[in-house]
Chains A and B, each alone.
Chain A
């Protein structure tokens, strides 16, 4: 609790004791009135004081002023206990609001408690703790077990397991070895790591994420803006209605003014839109916080609103649904052993760092002895000719085989095919495929069951490859062999096809699909743990690169919107009801206090639910 909250709580307790003393002790009228007045002074002096100063500043429709009028009016009408009680409950409500909001503020802050406090730098043979801000690029820092890596960098020495859960929500620790990249914000679990920094703190992943999350609630959604606008008109409207209620009926019907003034005062008690103006932003804040708990960063409540109304989800293939890393899927030989064929291909492709060559070398798995290779010659657009152990080896596509007049069997498998020939004879072929991410099929299934009407895949890849992946995943449509500009056109088309209220979500890996990310209603990027471009271009970032998180964040978005709508309907409904009953004389000030404070408290409690994300909501990985 802050000092302000403690102070108010103390006043509430003192006033409550006085209030019960006043109501339960049956003493003489003047004593009772004295107790109530003291009680009123204890609990309400600051409200009255603020009302007076605000009027001097020219603010008329101020909730302090309205509360003051309502309570003093009740005291003058002889309703002592009600006048004091309204003030007391109003303050209880204020205290509760303040407490609940700062509580949830803190729990979201602790969720994002990834800011490193210091970095260990070696100076004159000793480890010194310095501010991460002061560590220049290229410095060598030491991260001990249990510490958070303060800056992005590359491991020079040591191996360990890294806990990335604060960044990704992923509980499996990552292996860390020399040469590997380390991202700031991870917790080093087991061994001592010596790291060479590659970024300044301001540019490091952790600083970027913090900045993003802290500013997320600045982008307000439609619901939030509606409430702000609504609040501007609500209070004056209720006040004018109260004024009319106090004056008109007695003048027309000739009934006593006292009854109608009392009814008008109940109006003033309900005139504050507090329940709405607090609980709606709180719901969205909670929703964004809940999403970051599972490693999904949402850049604003407007995106949460759009996600809740998603109708079409468009995927990029490589890096989004597939790993973007190629792997050997099939080997067909012509007389040779599979291992031998792979060895020949690996040796021939040794010079190259092309993803396809890398996957062949990875499948081979052994170190290439470069002394065995002689005379490597690249044939552009075809492949490679290399002399290995004195034998001429050709590796490349079908065109190479045709060019070199080698009789080969065309491979019917889908994927990238590398044909291998040795000393002029066909030796076999190796099929290479991009691997589908483990959770991709589950991701599509859960999107479908969440009511997504259309799932589409866009890819620059060959038709056969694209169709195969789309078929395996059960996507509704697949557009293949697209150039980057074609992707924008396809998304434009899909935007026209969807219904007016439905939203189009595009999911990409953030590399070269920035225009599409921007064109879609919601652009989701794979954060790739530290790919800055993606974090900046997208509206929503999946820190774990798992497409299954899309359905999870959609669920959170829908829950948040549901809670916000519940609060709007509930708060407005109760207020309207009490206003009507009050005008007819059926609702007294106690009912009005409930409509004001009680509704606020309930709406806030409801809003806090948005923050809670059940771990079960996350589809388990296959």
Chain B
């Protein structure tokens, strides 16, 4: 399953890279690409685990960049 998630107030390139690297390491994530210009994250993960992965990703993003609001 593939989903585009909005990352509001993501405005630094290195934070985007950090988020991308961290989310990539979550178990079950097949592909993830964070784009800081369009403030979006495209997450691709196994269907059955998608919801838990999304929750985990949100928690990770909150940790890395507390300023960013995640809107799925």
Interface digits, A49-60 against B, CB 8 Å rule (1 contact, 0 not)? 010011001010
Cβ of B67 < 8 Å from any Cβ of A?
Answer: yes
- Which residues of B are found within 8 Å of A278, using beta-carbon distances? 12-13, 36
Q: Is the CB of A282 within 8 A of B9?
A: no
Q: Is the CB of B11 within 8 A of A98?
A: yes
Q: Is the CB of B42 within 8 A of A53?
A: no
Q: Is the CB of B11 within 8 A of A274?
A: no
Interface digits, B1-34 against A, CB 8 Å rule (1 contact, 0 not)? 0000000010111101100110000000000010
Q: Is the CB of B37 within 8 A of A217?
A: yes
When chains A and B are docked, how far (Å) is the Cα of A300 from the Cα of B9?
23
Q: Is the CB of A105 within 8 A of B21?
A: no
B16 to chain A, nearest CB (A): 8
Q: Is the CB of B37 within 8 A of A277?
A: no
Quick one: which of B12, B17, B63 contacts A97, CB cutoff 8 A? B12
- Which residues of A are found within 8 Å of B66, using beta-carbon distances? 50, 53
- Which residues of B are found within 8 Å of A57, using beta-carbon distances? 63-64
- Would A59 and B17 be within 8 Å (CB), given that A98-B11, A218-B35, A282-B37 are in contact? no
Q: Is the CB of A4 within 8 A of B67?
A: yes
Cβ of B46 < 8 Å from any Cβ of A?
Answer: no
Interface digits, A200-218 against B, CB 8 Å rule (1 contact, 0 not)? 0000000000000011011
A93 to chain B, nearest CB (A): 10
Q: Is the CB of A277 within 8 A of B13?
A: yes
Within 8 A of B (CB), among A246-287: 272-274, 276-278, 280-282, 285
- Which residues of B are found within 8 Å of A277, using beta-carbon distances? 12-14, 16-17
- Taking A274-B14, A277-B14 as known contacts, 5 extra A-B pairs with beta carbons closer than 8 A to each other, sorted by chain A number, are A105-B38, A105-B39, A214-B38, A215-B38, A278-B13
Q: Is the interface of B mostly helix, strand, loop or mixed?
A: mixed
- Which residues of B are found within 8 Å of A282, using beta-carbon distances? 37
Across the A-B interface, the 7 shortest Cβ-Cβ residue pairs: A277-B13, A285-B37, A98-B11, A278-B13, A277-B14, A57-B63, A228-B17
Within 8 A of A (CB), among B31-61: 33, 35-40, 42
- Which residues of B are found within 8 Å of A272, using beta-carbon distances? 14
Closest to B38 in A: A217
A-side residues, CB < 8 A to B, are: 2, 4, 50, 53-54, 57, 59, 63, 94, 97-98, 101-102, 105, 214-215, 217-218, 220, 228, 231-232, 272-274, 276-278, 280-282, 285
- Which residues of B are found within 8 Å of A53, using beta-carbon distances? 66
Closest to A220 in B: B33
Q: Is the CB of B36 within 8 A of A281?
A: yes
Quick one: which of A4, A50, A281 contacts B13, CB cutoff 8 A? A281
Residue contacts A-B, CB under 8 angstroms, 14 given:
A2-B9, A57-B63, A57-B64, A59-B64, A98-B11, A101-B11, A217-B37, A228-B20, A273-B14, A277-B13, A278-B12, A281-B13, A281-B37, A282-B37
- Which residues of B are found within 8 Å of A280, using beta-carbon distances? 13
- Which residues of B are found within 8 Å of A2, using beta-carbon distances? 9
When chains A and B are docked, how far (Å) is the Cα of A98 from the Cα of B37?
11
A92 to chain B, nearest CB (A): 14
Q: Is the CB of A4 within 8 A of B9?
A: yes
Q: Is the CB of A94 within 8 A of B12?
A: yes
Q: Is the CB of B21 within 8 A of A232?
A: yes
Closest to A280 in B: B13
B66 to chain A, nearest CB (A): 7
When chains A and B are docked, how far (Å) is the Cα of A214 from the Cα of B66?
25
- Would A97 and B11 be within 8 Å (CB), given that A50-B66, A218-B33, A228-B17 are in contact? yes
B35 to chain A, nearest CB (A): 5
- Which residues of B are found within 8 Å of A273, using beta-carbon distances? 14
Closest to B16 in A: A277
- Which residues of B are found within 8 Å of A101, using beta-carbon distances? 11, 36-37
When chains A and B are docked, how far (Å) is the Cα of A220 from the Cα of B33?
9
When chains A and B are docked, how far (Å) is the Cα of A228 from the Cα of B19?
12
A578 to chain B, nearest CB (A): 19
- Would A274 and B37 be within 8 Å (CB), given that A59-B64, A218-B42, A231-B17 are in contact? no
- Which residues of A are found within 8 Å of B12, using beta-carbon distances? 94, 97-98, 274, 277-278
B41 to chain A, nearest CB (A): 10
Q: Is the CB of A217 within 8 A of B35?
A: yes
When chains A and B are docked, how far (Å) is the Cα of A214 from the Cα of B40?
10
A296 to chain B, nearest CB (A): 19
When chains A and B are docked, how far (Å) is the Cα of A59 from the Cα of B16?
15
When chains A and B are docked, how far (Å) is the Cα of A158 from the Cα of B39?
42
Closest to B60 in A: A57
When chains A and B are docked, how far (Å) is the Cα of A274 from the Cα of B14?
7
- Which residues of A are found within 8 Å of B9, using beta-carbon distances? 2, 4
